[in-house]
Amino acid sequence: MYLTISNGAEKINKGLKILKNVPLAPLTSFGTGGKADYLATVTTFQQLKETLAWANERQLPLTLLGGGTNVLISDRGVEGLVIVTTALTAHYVQNPLFVCQAGLPLDTAIDLMNDNYLCGLEPLGGLPGSVGGAVYGNASANGESIASHIEWIDYLSREGQLSRYYRRDDDFSYKKSPFSDTEKIIWEVAFHLKPCHDPSKMRVLKEESRAKRKARGQYDYPSAGCIFKNPSEGPAGYFIEQAGFKGYSLGGATVSSKHANFVIIKGETTSQAIYDLTLLVEKGVLERFGIPLEREIRLVGRW
Ligand SMILES: Cc1cc2nc3c(=O)[nH]c(=O)nc-3n(C[C@H](O)[C@H](O)[C@H](O)COP(=O)(O)OP(=O)(O)OC[C@H]3O[C@@H](n4cnc5c(N)ncnc54)[C@H](O)[C@@H]3O)c2cc1C
């Protein structure tokens, strides 16, 4: 299934379904940002390879987009080609491996694992976004990181070469994977899981993780999750709150009063306003505590 692309988009290549000047805001959880010069929503391996070849011929910069729940897209748009993975959702089971394509929503993947009597990722229940995005940033929640369940990852180079990577513990760290800040395209991920005899119990565990997020108000307003990584001194949210930013607003972007490391959107805003707010918070925490915060969300496009 292709995403519904807004009317303004001009189709430039029927075979590949590459579209020109496509608004990206509807494809992100913040709901802000400008247009992609070109956008392709690939559905097959062949299409992905052909799309890469098309971009390489034109030497276009490349950006991967999964669920768009950990990115801040520039209001001035994204240069080159954006490849959206959300239609890549196939999966299969080869006990004890669960293998899926990168665009499958992580939450759905956990349900499918449980359906197949496999478990381990329930603490990540309710985490928005795709498997590819979660692997890229080594997503974690409730003391569990996605990395610890990965067996291998099939990825493509920018040139379209398919390779298999086998997980080594040392390659992953807090919110970082061997794919972070590279041009490698995560295609398929194999998770090594534990057998579970009672999937319904696992589903309850997963739903508890989701319910905790809901109770904390994580789904009440558009956001991109935690803005900053936790520094070694403690939770970023604690320092942001102590620096007096809880509830602080700038141009429609607000530091959540429930979780100070979330910037939430309560009205009309822009990516620039969100970005400016994060700079203010960063400066405030540095001045008050001498702690430099590192941004967790990814800045994408012409910043
Ligand atoms: C309400 C809320 C709660 C959240 N809670 C958490 C949490 O508890 N823990 C946590 O870790 N995160 C959390 N997040 C952040 C986010 O959900 C995760 O980081 C998620 O894993 C991102 O996946 P995505 O598909 O949306 O990635 P995107 O935002 O689409 O992309 C993120 C990065 O991954 C790259 N990427 C995506 N797919 C691929 C691919 N196939 N190949 C190569 N690169 C790729 C993109 O280029 C980009 O740099 C939260 C977000 C929200 C909105």
Give the model confidence (pLDDT) of 232-290 as tens digits: 999 999 999 999 999 999 999 999 999 999 999 998 999 999 999 999 999 999 999 99
Per-residue model confidence (pLDDT) at position 4:
36
Angle at the Cα of 46 from the Cα atoms of 108 and 4, rounded to 5 degrees: 55
Is the shortest distance between the CB of 177 and ligand 1 below 6 Å? no
Q: For residues 96 and 78, state if they share a domain.
A: no
CATH number at 40 reads 3.30.43.10
Q: Within 10 A of 14 (CB to CB), how many other CB atoms are there? A: 7
Torsion 5-134-179-150 (CA) sign: negative
Mean pLDDT of 215-239: 97
Is the shortest distance between the CB of 77 and ligand 1 below 6 Å? no
Q: Does the structure show a pLDDT above 50 at 68?
A: yes
Is the shortest distance between the CB of 71 and ligand 1 below 6 Å? yes
Which protein residue's CA is at the shortest distance from atom 9 of ligand 1? 140
3-class SS at 152? strand
Mean pLDDT of 40-57: 96
Report which of residues 50 and 17 the model is more confident about: 50
Tell me the per-residue pLDDT of 29-40, one tens digit each, with 9 for 90 and over: 999 999 999 999
Q: For residues 141 and 110, state if they share a domain.
A: yes
Is the shortest distance between the CB of 134 and ligand 1 below 6 Å? yes
Tell me the CA–centroid distance for residue 186 and ligand 1, in Å.
Answer: 13
Tell me the CA–centroid distance for residue 139 and ligand 1, in Å.
Answer: 7
Which protein residue's CA is at the shortest distance from atom 31 of ligand 1? 133
Does the residue 96 lie in any domain?
Answer: yes
Q: How far apart are the first and last CA of the chain?
A: 31
What residue numbers bound the domain in which 291 lies?
Answer: 236-300
CATH number at 100 reads 3.30.465.10
CATH number at 242 reads 3.90.78.10
Does the residue 230 lie in any domain?
Answer: no
Per-residue model confidence (pLDDT) at position 7:
41
Query: How confident is residue 17, by pLDDT bands cut at 50, 70 and 90?
Result: confident
* 121 touches 113 (CB < 8 A): yes
Is the shortest distance between the CB of 138 and ligand 1 below 6 Å? no
Does the residue 266 lie in any domain?
Answer: yes
Is the shortest distance between the CB of 284 and ligand 1 below 6 Å? no
Query: Looking at 158, 184, 215, which one is the last position of a domain?
Result: 215
Does the residue 2 lie in any domain?
Answer: no
Does the residue 5 lie in any domain?
Answer: no
Does the residue 296 lie in any domain?
Answer: yes
Domain count, the chain: 3
Q: For residues 44 and 110, state if they share a domain.
A: no
Q: Does the structure show a pLDDT above 80 at 11?
A: no
Q: Which residues contact 161 (CB under 8 A, 6 or more apart)?
A: none
* Lowest model confidence (mean pLDDT) among 13-27, 98-112, 167-181, 223-237: 13-27
Q: For residues 107 and 163, state if they share a domain.
A: yes
Q: For residues 57 and 106, state if they share a domain.
A: no
Encoded tokens for 216: 């904390």
Q: For residues 103 and 198, state if they share a domain.
A: yes
Which protein residue's CA is at the shortest distance from atom 5 of ligand 1? 225
Does the residue 116 lie in any domain?
Answer: yes
Q: For residues 184 and 111, state if they share a domain.
A: yes
Report which of residues 186 and 267 the model is more confident about: 186
- If one residue of 42, 48, 70, 135 were mutated to test the ligand 1 pocket, choosing by the most ligand atoms within 8 A of its CB, it would be 70
Is the shortest distance between the CB of 141 and ligand 1 below 6 Å? yes
Distance CA 125, CA 232 (A): 25
Per-residue model confidence (pLDDT) at position 63:
98
Does the residue 59 lie in any domain?
Answer: yes
Query: Looking at 45, 63, 84, which one is the last position of a domain?
Result: 84
Query: Looking at 84, 107, 125, which one is the last position of a domain?
Result: 84
249 phi and psi angles, rounded to 5 deg: -120, 150
Q: For residues 99 and 198, state if they share a domain.
A: yes
Q: For residues 245 and 293, state if they share a domain.
A: yes
